[in-house]
Amino acid sequence: MGRWEYQVIETRHVHQSYLEPILNQHGGEGWELVSAYLTPNLTTFIFKRPVEGAAKSQDEAAA
């Protein structure tokens, strides 16, 4: 399997006009949103993307 790097973003702002640019920017940088959760005072987003230059498994290389 490939290797992943992760990024966690926490914010108190949940309005669409604030979040869309942040989500689009991360998507443009290759980050994939894998989880989001809410608490009463905070929203947390977890992103992942493949580590650049990481060795691929034989199955991945054959695909």
Each domain of the chain, given as residue ranges in start order, spans 1-45
DSSP state of 60: H
What number of other Cβ atoms are within 10 A of residue 13's Cβ? 9
Which pair of structure tokens corresponds to residue 60? 């991945």
pLDDT in tens, 31-63: 999 999 999 999 999 999 999 876 665 556 665
Amino acid at 42: L
DSSP state of 44: E
- Please state the pTM of the whole predicted model: 0.74
pLDDT in tens, 1-36: 689 999 999 999 778 888 899 999 999 999 999 999
